[in-house]
Structure 1
Amino acid sequence: MSRSILVVGTGAAGLTVAEELRRLGYDDALTLVGGEDHPPYDRPPLSKRFLKGEAGPEQLWLAGPDALERLDASEYRGRRAVAADLAARVVTLDDGTALPYTDLVVATGVAPRTLPGTAGLPGAVTLKTVEDAATLAGRLRPGQRLVVVGGGFLGTETAWTALSLGCEVTLVTPASTVLPGLGPHVGALAGERLTAAGATVLTGATVEKIHQGGRLPRDEGLEVLLDDGTRLTAGTVLTAIGSAPDVDWLTRTELDLSDGVRCDAVGRAAPGVHACGDVAAWYHPRSGRHLRLEHRMHAGDQARVVAADLLGQRRDLEWVPYFWTDQGPHKIAVHGLITPEAEYEPHEADPEDDRFTGVYRTDGRVCAVLGWNAPRQVLRLRRELLTTPGPTEALPPAAPKTEPA
């Protein structure tokens, strides 16, 4: 009997699953459901090249119309899944369409968290989609006062971009440094560089309320109240306080949604269901924990493992993930997993060229390496200090081809 694979989510993970399935020889029915009404695109450039006007939507496409046509897939663009019946193997879309499947791949990613009271507030924005980026780009002009709430990668990257466009930027974060996930040493340095570039960085500060400023000038129509009583005026406020897995449509299923979709070490969440990308928490054999990593490269790696498993083939996940962030002129690259308890130690530094490498250790063992403007050096450290755990013996056997229930 023929199969019908349904992929819900057409970002990097969902698209890669579809491409890999076809590459591996799958020639039965394939259906793609995407919540946005345009071809799949790359999200990391939104906070940088797109906002600067250096790249338009078409330059961000992961697959253009011709490539999508070659996939020979049924596409539902601008449609969102609202429910799933795993027993009947049917997904329902927001327009009432019912899509039967033999195999479901959940790749719906994450949705930005927002602050209470900001919905519909003019000038209060988030940055997730190309439409969000276009709205924000239209507001970032010389002299515009931008308040960024959140000191993670998205918040700091956007702050750097806004500075380059001549905006007045204030960044607010409750953490003691920006980029707290990289530890206090690197975070403090990143904050110092952002401050030196002209931003005002307020650490240890929490936003109590954002509201329209009444008699404020038109370009400064928002007021941001902090927990210490500080009042900031702004024309635009970007909320970049993290994201939540997009799993509301799965809440009536038996899937474990405690942190996204909980999966085994090859992305299986339930019979006939896989998940990958930002929405998926995969079992990590070495640590014995489930990890959900919102990294672009990791999403693609997971997607290729899922496609192989769907076809009964073995492909192990690369358990040394990699990500990078562009902080203005500084590129930070990290290989490995930085745990909250990891201790950072400097490795090699070249102050003249403003580059260095560092090592993170947990219980004395190297768990990650970092390069600041040092891509070749950090790759060497990866090869020397980090190895793929080789989880093959801990993985389940390859999945049999699924038949309809």
Structure 2
Amino acid sequence: MRTVTVVGASLAGMYAARELRAQGFDGRLVVVGDEPHPPYDRPPLSKDFLTGRTDEDQLALTDPEETAELDAEWLLGVRARGLDARGRTVLLDDGRTVSTDGVVIATGAAARRLPGEDLAGVHTLRTLDDARALREELAQGPRRVVVIGGGFIGAETASSCAALGHAVTVVEAAPLPLVPQLGAEMAAVCAALHRRGGVHLVTGTGVAGLKGAAAGSRTTPEPEVAGPRNRPRYPRAVTGVELADGRTLPADIVIVGIGATPNTAWLAGSTLALHDGVLCDDGCVTGLPQVVAVGDVARVGGTRAEHWTSATEQPRVAVRNLLAGRTTETVRSMPYFWSDQYGARLQFAGRRHQSDTVRVVEGGIEAGAPGEGGLLALYERDGRTTAVLSVDRPRPFMRARRELTRNAEPVESVEPTAPATL
């Protein structure tokens, strides 16, 4: 291949670019990104960046020296609008085209939004610009903040807002946050972190809609009537969140954390198989020749994992298979994620099943929450450990994680698979 184009200047896209050079590709490397910013790390956006402990320079995933070594063409601030696989061309929304021999799809996912009127004071938190706007608004004085969604982004953002002195309520439609990831027993323990952090948790009811009023009529100060300078100005501002059970929560700021949708619309006419992401085999290889997908946009072997570790581990295998022109290696990494909430670090590794039993092997539970020294819990099934959860027990967790990894099916070579034809 003479040219490889990475579509998506994301974490996964950056790692793919690195792998291309590390694995010997010395041809033309093009990186397309819809944001104007060079690749940056997203996890701090809901934590240290939001609270002001981290600045933008510390988010960068690369430095000038590495950028020079990659010797890539960076097309930033431009969105891909199509993939012509037969003509080996990536179409851009500014009218340009990129002729290419190979494509790495790393376009990530976009935050889901609530239907209805656009109101000032309503935020999502997915991009650097999102975080800039929210941080600026939070800095304007104490606010009533409602976070819709008790997942990891919602919990981390609620924690940061509480640390900044705001009155925070988290609304979660499920009976408990994080039940799909942790199971009911440990989800209840981790949900208690909200209470310990001074945050009100409302569960078991959805959101019917948002209430708004003419900008400037809210009871709290609004120095810039329709929001911070880097957000659109709307004539109406949010005043409350109407719940499905009829209650209304007053709100000056609403943060919507209800998940993300993979960015695949630009691929609609490409004949790629799309279903909640780009469908790939276990080696990140799609149904089109010399096209692979990685990160949040990729459904690898039937699973789409929106985790930092997936975005950093998949590119090595994907690039190897892209350069080989067929699937020669598969992704077999152990699922792992972490979350920082209310001064506690949650870490989870493994594959939990709803029938697993949970056993706390270190630390304990006090008043329904993790004890002062945290806890380590093992998920078990048929006499073996399937997953491990830690709250502030990093060293025991790493030992348990290594044991899980040793017992997991390793990365292995497979019989070469010919690429599909168009």
Whether the TM-score (by the shorter chain) exceeds 0.5 is: yes
Contact 1:309 1:398 survives alignment (8 Å): no
Alignment match, 2:258? 241
Contact 2:378 2:388 survives alignment (8 Å): yes
Question: In the superposition, relative to structure 1, how do residues 318 and 85 fare at CA in structure 2: closer, same or farther (>3 Å)?
Answer: same
How far the C-alpha of 1:265 sits from its partner, in A, is 1.1
Please give the secondary structure, in 2, of the residue aligned with 1:338: coil
Alignment match, 1:106? 105
Q: Letter of the aligned partner of 1:281 in structure 2?
A: R
Contact 1:309 1:399 survives alignment (8 Å): no
Alignment match, 1:127? 125
Q: Letter of the aligned partner of 2:87 in structure 1?
A: A
Give me the whole-angstrom Cα distance separating, in 2, the residues matched to 1:330 and 1:161.
12
Give me the whole-angstrom Cα distance separating, in 1, the residues matched to 2:70 and 2:333.
29
Structure 1 residue 338 and structure 2 residue 337: aligned? Answer: no
Give me the whole-angstrom Cα distance separating, in 2, the residues matched to 1:399 and 1:305.
16
Question: In the superposition, relative to structure 1, how do residues 342 and 261 fare at CA in structure 2: closer, same or farther (>3 Å)?
Answer: farther
How far the C-alpha of 1:66 sits from its partner, in A, is 3.3
Alignment match, 2:195? 195
Question: In the superposition, relative to structure 1, how do residues 257 and 363 fare at CA in structure 2: closer, same or farther (>3 Å)?
Answer: farther
Question: In the superposition, relative to structure 1, how do residues 234 and 100 fare at CA in structure 2: closer, same or farther (>3 Å)?
Answer: same
1:198-217 matches, within 5 Å, as 198-213=198-213, 216-217=218-219
Alignment match, 1:287? none
Alignment match, 1:379? 398
Alignment match, 2:227? none
Structure 1 residue 274 and structure 2 residue 274: aligned? Answer: no
Q: Letter of the aligned partner of 1:217 in structure 2?
A: T
How far the C-alpha of 1:366 sits from its partner, in A, is 3.1
Please give the secondary structure, in 2, of the residue aligned with 1:311: helix
Alignment match, 2:241? 224
TM-score of the pair, normalised by structure 1: 0.91
Give me the whole-angstrom Cα distance separating, in 1, the residues matched to 2:107 and 2:254.
26
Deviates more, 1:126-135 or 1:378-387: 378-387
How far the C-alpha of 1:390 sits from its partner, in A, is 2.4
Unaligned runs of 5+ residues in structure 2 are 222-236, 366-370
Contact 1:301 1:318 survives alignment (8 Å): no
Deviates more, 1:274-283 or 1:207-216: 207-216
How far the C-alpha of 1:191 sits from its partner, in A, is 1.9
Question: In the superposition, relative to structure 1, how do residues 399 and 33 fare at CA in structure 2: closer, same or farther (>3 Å)?
Answer: farther
Contact 1:213 1:223 survives alignment (8 Å): no
Give me the whole-angstrom Cα distance separating, in 2, the residues matched to 1:213 and 1:346.
49
Question: In the superposition, relative to structure 1, how do residues 353 and 225 fare at CA in structure 2: closer, same or farther (>3 Å)?
Answer: closer
Partner deviation per Cα, 1:327-370 (whole Å, 9 max, x = no partner): 12111111112345544332322566422111224566533111
Contact 2:108 2:262 survives alignment (8 Å): yes
How far the C-alpha of 1:323 sits from its partner, in A, is 1.2
Please give the secondary structure, in 1, of the residue aligned with 2:138: coil
Question: In the superposition, relative to structure 1, how do residues 22 and 202 fare at CA in structure 2: closer, same or farther (>3 Å)?
Answer: same
Contact 1:80 1:93 survives alignment (8 Å): yes
Deviates more, 1:83-92 or 1:37-46: 83-92
Contact 1:39 1:64 survives alignment (8 Å): no
Q: Letter of the aligned partner of 1:358 in structure 2?
A: A
Please give the secondary structure, in 1, of the residue aligned with 2:333: coil
Please give the secondary structure, in 2, of the residue aligned with 1:177: coil
How far the C-alpha of 1:304 sits from its partner, in A, is 1.3
Give me the whole-angstrom Cα distance separating, in 2, the residues matched to 1:110 and 1:363.
36
How far the C-alpha of 1:91 sits from its partner, in A, is 1.2
Contact 2:280 2:298 survives alignment (8 Å): yes
Question: In the superposition, relative to structure 1, how do residues 382 and 152 fare at CA in structure 2: closer, same or farther (>3 Å)?
Answer: same
Alignment match, 1:286? none
Please give the secondary structure, in 2, of the residue aligned with 1:121: coil
Question: In the superposition, relative to structure 1, how do residues 195 and 123 fare at CA in structure 2: closer, same or farther (>3 Å)?
Answer: same
Alignment match, 2:114? 115
Partner deviation per Cα, 1:256-298 (whole Å, 9 max, x = no partner): 2112011111110021110000111111xxxxxx111111011
Give me the whole-angstrom Cα distance separating, in 2, the residues matched to 1:97 and 1:173.
44
1:262-301 matches, within 5 Å, as 262-270=279-287, 271-283=289-301, 290-301=302-313
How far the C-alpha of 1:325 sits from its partner, in A, is 0.4
How far the C-alpha of 1:399 sits from its partner, in A, is 7.6
Alignment match, 1:145? 144
Please give the secondary structure, in 2, of the residue aligned with 1:5: strand
Give me the whole-angstrom Cα distance separating, in 1, the residues matched to 2:381 and 2:99.
46
Unaligned runs of 5+ residues in structure 1 are 284-289
How far the C-alpha of 1:391 sits from its partner, in A, is 5.0
Partner deviation per Cα, 1:123-179 (whole Å, 9 max, x = no partner): 011001111001101122452111000000000000000000000001001011122
Give me the whole-angstrom Cα distance separating, in 2, the residues matched to 1:30 and 1:172.
44
Please give the secondary structure, in 1, of the residue aligned with 2:68: helix
How far the C-alpha of 1:308 sits from its partner, in A, is 2.0
Identity of aligned residues (%): 38
Alignment match, 2:232? none
Over the aligned positions, Cα root-mean-square deviation in angstroms equals 2.2
Alignment match, 1:392? 412
The count of residues paired between Structure 1 and Structure 2 equals: 393
Partner deviation per Cα, 1:198-236 (whole Å, 9 max, x = no partner): 111000111101131455414584221001111111111
Please give the secondary structure, in 1, of the residue aligned with 2:49: helix
Give me the whole-angstrom Cα distance separating, in 2, the residues matched to 1:355 and 1:7.
42
TM-score of the pair, normalised by structure 2: 0.88
